[in-house]
Structure 1
């Protein structure tokens, strides 16, 4: 009987195992509930414009991988990472202009003009490549600044000014190329290596992935310190760590796949560095805050004593510079410049990439990373169509549908922000 009594007394101790750390469980539940609440609030307020793009990109990759198992192969992904660079750089410049609520229609012509200037100076006139490269990029900066100053002073809509620029710079490119119409670049030259050089050492890709994740953490942490010092809402350290960890996972996965083919492409490295640098300039500098403020309203910016002319001129100059750099990468990809450089669907793809990636057509919302997401979607569709032998007409239809959906989401997001008093 005593043993039976002892056994019955021992049984009630079992439920205590479920509540060993009640405070920790409540803290975890509270953190999860807080993160879910913040996510739902941002989603309803239209602040997660990147989320639909990521879902579309995932759907595109899954669909084409199901149609052809080589779509997500290291070789195809490596080629994709180089193919996005030229148009992607041009799209980054478009993001700056869209932040003002304007549009630059001249970027295609400027890219062709810069490539023609480089080719004629270097190949036809023997100017050293590095000097011809600087002159070509400077030509893009000057053409953009001229358009920006004209737009700011005349107050004619930017798309009208740049439409005139589209015709002017295209005519100048044809004049520079002359009767030959085509100039072949040195396949072993500096510009050709922009898209043909790869870092074959595995450590290069993994090192870049580590640096990228570290930079995300440091920039976010410094931003948290500044906002906390002035009493503004700021991210928690856990949120920053999760964000940096997510970037690290994506970066290391990309590095692993690239290393399985030819290594890290130089073109991709330059692209990511430029995008990251301009993102910091936009979101963490006085100039960037002025650009966003101007996108919120020109008259309000003038009353706040912002130099509207200077900012608008600088934005169009950035767009021209990025168009010139992108044009040189496009020329590097085919190692030639012709009368067709900068034409075709290049302009449409650059604008579509910026919009699809989440940059608002109404101004004041978007980042340089929007261009990366957008051009990934567009080029993934093009790559998938090519690898599955689908007609180009279908590619245009699908891309147009994605663009239309992005514009609709942008409009709905703006209405949601207005409803929440944030537009």
Structure 2
């Protein structure tokens, strides 16, 4: 990408350039420089880009440009011209926030809808004309079935983080949504990778798409210093609390494998005098919003999150990420640590690794093609009476159990229904996780 390229060079409308300038941006990121011209031309797009690359503006800005240059004389309530589908509530809220940011000097209206909250205010909002609708698949289909939403006027469809949607079991919902849309439309698909499943999905929804790709998923940022501390699972909570307090960290994102683990860790940190909060699928939307806002504002120093609950969390210059447990999927490690070391700022990623996680560590090192730096913490002595081993969380398990296995299973998906599905899994067949975010 030409480093001298400006947003004005991309041909965007003046109100959008003013909003971009207000936001403090001068030059487009690589994904923006590649994607915006293609979207402006009106063709379909298949793009590989992760969170943190600027992909949201990569589709938001040209979509707003299209709406400005092709205004409708009459606007019908509940009949959006643009539909953006996201896998999680947090990401939906972030995308719609970006839409409002860049549309601030226009009269373009946007709305976000997702599950886990009362549907009635959304029904009321849909009675007004909305140009852009950002939604999670489950709640979108709820509105469609109740006839509170008309998708026959959609001109542009965006599928954001499509790989995560497939991981969460949304493929059937996506297909149902596609059947409700006009065949004559522009479609944009964004994914962290171009897996076989993603290409199959793209083949079914895109028409001769252009392809752009930035930031390979297995390419960890060179600005992120990665370290490993070997620690027993039963000692990890005390160890992390010690590290945070002694280091004086003021903003650290901690990843746990399970919702239960996130709660226990946050409670421990608060007990030790730290400002901490947990976010996961069993938390109410208001609680998650408060925790995210507090973390961004600096009122919450430690945010403990499961992988999917943290999707959409985008903070520039986040200094520190901690893997309280290693993820079962090595690519998720790269996604986790990619939340630090952004925009040219250095970052640090620390992983606490139990002996049972050695196989996961080796898989990560093979993927990233580097050996993670082992370190020790001076001055820390494990507690004389460590927490019982049965409280430790086994890699690949959603509940509690003795650490004895390194077999990897799919982690519980913290969406609206996943908590109930996980609790019922041993009693009866559960519905597919992620059906109604």
Question: Please, what TM-score do these two structures have when normalized by structure 1?
Answer: 0.22
Greater strand content: 2
Greater helix content: 1
Structure label with greater radius of gyration: 1
